[in-house]
Chains A and B, each alone.
Chain A
Amino acid sequence: MDSSQFFGISSIAYILAMVTYIAYLVFRNSTVGLVATTITTVGFVAQTLAFFMRGKEFYDLAQLGSILRAIPLTNLYESLVFFVWCIILGYLLIEWKYKNRSFGAFITPIAGMVLAFIDISGMDKNIHPLIPALQSNWLLAHVTMSFLAYAAFAISFATAVMFLAVSSEDEKSWPYITWTVTLGVFIAVLVAMGIDFLVFKVGAHSTESLVKSHLFKASFRNGAMPVALFSYLALAGFIFAVWKYGKVLKRIIESFEISQDMLDELVYKSIAVGFPVFTLGGLIFGAIWADQAWGKYWSWDPKETWSLITWFVYAFFLHARFLKGWRGNKIAAVSVLGFVSTIFTYLGVNLLLSGLHSYGGG
C-alpha cells in the first residue's frame, strides 16, 4: 500500500465521522459518540501513517541525504492535507480534555470538505523534488510549526464565531452582524474558489500564475459583466440570508450544550498555544532560515510583513485580555480579525502578492 491509499482511508473516515457526530447530536447516544470518536481516531492514525509514508516516498525520490528535509509540505496540496491533520489533532485534544463531543459535528465537516475539495478540484498530488531554496533542515521546524499555529488560530476563530452566535440575540447588534457577515463571506468565498477550481481545473496545472489569473474569474472577476454582477448580488443575497436566518444556527449551536464560558476559554487557549508556536516557528525560525538562505533575517517580504501584522493582531488580543480585561464579544471579534489576517498570510500572500515565498501556490 502506498500513501495515497491511506489518505483515501482518512478522507472516508472523516466524512463517516461527520455523519456519526451529527447522528450523535440527534440521538444523544453515548455509543454513537464513542463510534464517532473511534472513526475520527482511525482516520487520524491513517493520515499520520500516510504522512510518514509520503515522507519516505519523497525521501527516496529526492535523495536529499537528510531525513529532516524529507517532509511532504512543499505545495498547496500537501499543505492543505497537513492543515486538516492539525485541525483534527486539535479537535481530538479538545474532545479528550473537555469530554465534550459537540464540536465534532463542526470540525469534521471542515476536514471532510477540504479533502473532498482536493479530490474534486483535481489538484496536483504528485511528489515533486525540492528546489534548492527549500533544501534546509529548517524546513521541518518552520513549516510544521507555522501550520500548527494556523490550525490553532483556526480553532480559535471557529469557537469565536460560535461564541458570538450564542451570545448575541438582537439582529441589529454588532456581535450578531459580525458573526453572520463573517460566516456568510467565508462560505461564499469558499464556494467561489470551489467554482474556480471546478471550472478551470487550475489545480491540475499547479502553477502559481494560473491560480493568480483564475482566482474568482468564474464569479466576481468574470469577464462577462452580467456574471460578475450576478456573483456580487448572490454574495449579498447569501450574506443577507445568513443574517436573516442566523438564529436557526444559533439554536443548533445552543442545543449542543456548549457553554459560553467554555467557548470564551477555548478562544483564548487556542491563541495561547498558537501565539508562542507562531512566534517561535513562524517568525524566529523563519528569520534564522532566511538569514542562511538569503543573507537577510528580515527583508519586509510580503509573507514576512503579513506574518508580522498577524502577530500584532494576536499580541493585541493578549494585551486586551490581560491588561484591559476584555472578555466575551470584544475579544471574540479580535480573534475573528486575527484569523482573517492569518488566512491572508497563508493563502492571500501566495496567490495575490509577489515575493520570495512563492512556493505554496503550486
Chain B
Amino acid sequence: MESIEKEKKSVDKVWSFFSSIKLAVVVFTLISLTSIVGTIVEQDAEPEKNIKLLTKFFGSSAPDAFRVLDALGFTNMFHSWWFVTFLFVFAANLIICSLDRLPGILKLVKTPIRPLAASGFSSMQIKRETVIKGKADKVVPLLESAIKSAGYTPAISNEAEGTQLCAEKGRYSRLGVYVTHFSILLIFAGAIIGIFGGFNASLNLLEGTESSVAFGRNGKEIPLGFSIACEDFDVLYYENSDTPKSFRSKLLIFENGKPVKIDGKEVTDIEVNTPLKYKGITFYQSSYGFSPNKDSEFRLGLMSRDGKREDVRIKFGGTFVIPGTNVVGKVLDFSPAIGVDPSGKLYTYAEQMHNPAVLIEFSENGKPKYTQWLLKRFPNTWAVADGVVEFKDLWGAQYTGLQVRKDPGVWVVYLGCLIMAVGLYAAFFMSHSKIWVLVREEKNNTRVFVAATANKNRVSLEGKIDRLMKTVGDKQ
C-alpha cells in the first residue's frame, strides 16, 4: 500500500512539474536565449567564418571560444541534443498543461446555459433594469423576438421569481486555446515524421547529364528510385539589367531507362517557386553554376544573306561554314560575362553566365577576313558581313543546383497550420456570451431585469444589450 502511495505521490510530483506555468516560462526563456545565440553564430558554417565573428568579442582567444561553442553544440545548435530536448520538454509541458485544464473546460463547454437565480442578476458584469407597460404574457414574446434579432436563441422557463429567458453564443469558442495548443503538437508530430521518414538533399546536374542519386549531409548518397536529367538550364534577365527574372531548368525523369511523362509532357520546366514533384520526392530550383568543360558546345543559328538557314553545334576551337558561302567561322574565345571598361577595353566581370559572348574569326579560302564578338543577350551583335550568326547558347557548361526533398510529414504540418488558424480565430475573435432576462409582473406593469456576461469583448456585448433594451422600449 505504502509503495503505491509513494508512487502516486511521485507521479503527482512529475505531473505538477510538467503542468506548471513556471516550467513553461523557463522553457520559453531557454529556447529564446539559446536561439539568439544560434542566430548570431552562423550555423553549419566553416569554422573560419565564426572565428572571425568571435574575434570581435573575444579578441585573440577567439579560437578557444570557438572550440568551447563547438563542443557545446552551438555551431549546429538547432539540431543539438539539448536544443531538441528543450523542444520536447516544451511539447510535454503543452500536453500536460492542456490535459490538466481540459476536463474543467470540457465540462463548461458541455453544460448549456441555465436560468440565473434572482440574486445573481446584481453580480453580473453587465446589468440593466427597466419597467414596461402591460402584462408579462405580452412582454415575454416582445423580449423573445428582440433577443432573436440580436442573434441569440432564447430558452424560456418559469422560475420562482418569474419567467426567465436565457441565451448564449460561442460556447465552443472556449476550446480555441486548446485547439491552438493541439495544433502546435500536430506540427511537432509532422516535423518528427519528416525527420525520420524523409530526407533533405541536394544535387548539381550539368546540362545533358543525369543522376539516380542525390547527396545528403556530409555527401551521403541517397538513391532516388528513378533517375533525373537536366536537359537545359537558363537564366532569364530583365531587359538591360543583370537582375535575374527567372532561373529555369528543363528536367526529365527516367524509369528503367525510359522517359516518364508528367502531366502529359516528358520535359518539365521548374523555376524557383514552382518545383517538380515525382513519387513523393520534390525537386526545387535552388542554385546554379558555371562549369565549362570539353564537352560544352556552342549552339549557333546561321543564316546567309540570301536567307539560307542552318543550326550548328560546335565545340571550342571547332569551325562552321555559313550556308551557301565559303566563309568559315572558328570559335577563338569565350567570356561568360563580357563588359566594357571606361577605356573601351573588353573584360569579364563575373564568373557566371551573366552576359555570355563568343569571339569568332571568319575566314574565306583560308584567308582571315575579320573577327567579331557575338553576345547572346544582344541580337544586334549577331549580324556579320556575310550573314547572321545567332548565338543561341553555350550548352553543357552550366549546372542546375537542385534541392531534393522527401517529407511525408509535411501534410501533417499543413493540417496543424490549418487547425491553428481555426483555433486562433476562435480564441481571439470569438467570445462566449450569455444573456439572462428575468420578467417580473407588478400590477399593470412588468419589471424586466437583464444580465449578461462575456469572456471577451464585453464592450460589444454591452452595446448589443443597450440596443436590445432600446428595441423593447420602443415597441411597447
A-B contact sample (19 more), CB < 8 A, given A132-B247, A276-B424, A308-B35: A128-B243, A129-B238, A129-B243, A132-B272, A133-B273, A136-B273, A273-B428, A279-B424, A287-B417, A288-B417, A292-B275, A293-B272, A294-B286, A295-B403, A300-B43, A305-B38, A305-B39, A305-B78, A313-B32
Closest 9 CB pairs of A and B: A302-B39, A295-B284, A132-B272, A300-B78, A276-B424, A295-B403, A136-B273, A295-B405, A284-B417
The minimal Cβ–Cβ distance linking A287 to chain B, given in whole angstroms, is 7
Contact in complex: B413, A297 (CB < 8 Å):
yes
Q: Is the CB–CB distance between A132 and B420 below 8 Å?
A: no
User: Is B82 part of the binding interface, using a Cβ–Cβ cutoff of 8 Å?
Assistant: no
The answer to whether A150 has its CB under 8 Å from any CB of chain B is: no
Interface size class of A (residues with CB under 8 A): 35 or more
Q: B40 contacts the other chain (Cβ, under 8 Å)?
A: yes
Whether, in the assembled complex, B98 has its beta carbon less than 8 Å from a beta carbon of chain A, the answer is no
Closest to B272 in A: A132
Sample 20 A-B pairs with CB under 8 A, ordered by A number.
A132-B245, A132-B247, A132-B272, A273-B428, A276-B429, A284-B420, A293-B272, A295-B403, A295-B404, A300-B38, A305-B35, A305-B38, A308-B31, A309-B35, A309-B36, A312-B31, A316-B28, A324-B21, A354-B42, A355-B39
Interface of A is mostly: helix
* B273 and A135 form a contact (CB under 8 A): yes
Does A298 touch B at the CB level, under 8 Å? yes
Bound-complex Cα distance A70 to B231 (A): 31
**A284-B417, A293-B272, A294-B284 known; A131+B42 contact, CB < 8 A:** no
List the interface of chain A (C-beta within 8 A of B).
Answer: 62, 128-129, 131-133, 135-136, 272-273, 275-276, 279-280, 284, 287-288, 291-298, 300, 302, 305-306, 308-309, 312-313, 315-316, 319, 323-324, 349, 353-355
B246 at the binding interface (Cβ < 8 Å): yes
Q: Chain B's nearest CB lies how many Å from the CB of A5? A: 26
A295–B275 contact, CB under 8 A?
yes
The minimal Cβ–Cβ distance linking A279 to chain B, given in whole angstroms, is 6
CA distance A45 to B76 in the complex (A): 49
Q: Mark B90-132, 1 if CB is under 8 A from A, else 0.
A: 0000000000000000000000000000000000000000000
Chain A residues, Cβ within 8 Å of B32: 309, 312-313
Q: Is B24 part of the contact surface with A, judged by Cβ < 8 Å? A: yes
Considering the chains assembled together, what is the distance between the CA atoms of A195 and B390 in angstroms?
52
Q: Which of B24, B31, B38 contacts A319 (CB 8 A)?
A: B24
Contact A276 B35 (CB under 8 A): no
Q: Let me know if B284 and A133 touch, CB within 8 A.
A: no
Closest Cβ–Cβ distance, residue B286 to chain A (whole Å): 7
Judge whether B282 is part of the interface by a CB distance below 8 angstroms.
yes
* Minimum CB distance partner of B236 in chain A: A132
Query: Inside 8 A of B405's CB, which chain A residues have their CB?
Result: 295-296
Cβ-defined contact, B425 with A276, below 8 A:
yes
Identity of the chain B residue whose Cβ is nearest the Cβ of A341 in the assembled complex: B32
| Chain A neighbourhood of B428, CB < 8 A | 272-273, 275-276
- The answer for the CA separation of A248 and B405 in the assembled complex, in Å, is 60
